Amino acid sequence: MSLSSSRAAACVMPDAAGLCPHCAYRRSTDLLVEEAVDLAVAVRADLNDPVQVSELRQRCETGTRALLAAVCRRRSGASR
C-alpha cells in the first residue's frame, strides 16, 4: 500500500494525527473502494492473468470513485 504519505500532508487538522473527520472519512472511503474493487475483481477477472486483474482493478476503482463522488454531489446538492 502506498496510500498514506502524500495524503497525510493534506490534513486540515495536522494535530489530530489522522483522526480528524476529514481523514477518517477519506480512510473509510478508501477502504470501501478497495473492498468493492477486490470483490469485483475476484468475481470477474481471471486471477491467473495479472494484466487482466490490474486492468479491471483500475477500471473498477475509477468507476467506484466516480459513483461515490456523484452520490456525494447529489447529497450536498439536495440541501441547497
Q: Which residues bind Zn ion (CB under 5 A)?
A: 11, 20, 22-23
Q: Which of 37, 25, 30 is nearest to 1 (CA)?
A: 30
Q: Residue 20 or residue 53: which is nearer to Zn ion going by CB?
A: 20
Minimal distance, residue 39 CB to Zn ion, in Å: 28
Q: Residue 22 or residue 44: which is nearer to Zn ion going by CB?
A: 22
Minimal distance, residue 80 CB to Zn ion, in Å: 26
CA dist 1 and 24 (Å) reads 17
Residues 6+ positions from 78 with CB-CB distance below 8 Å: none
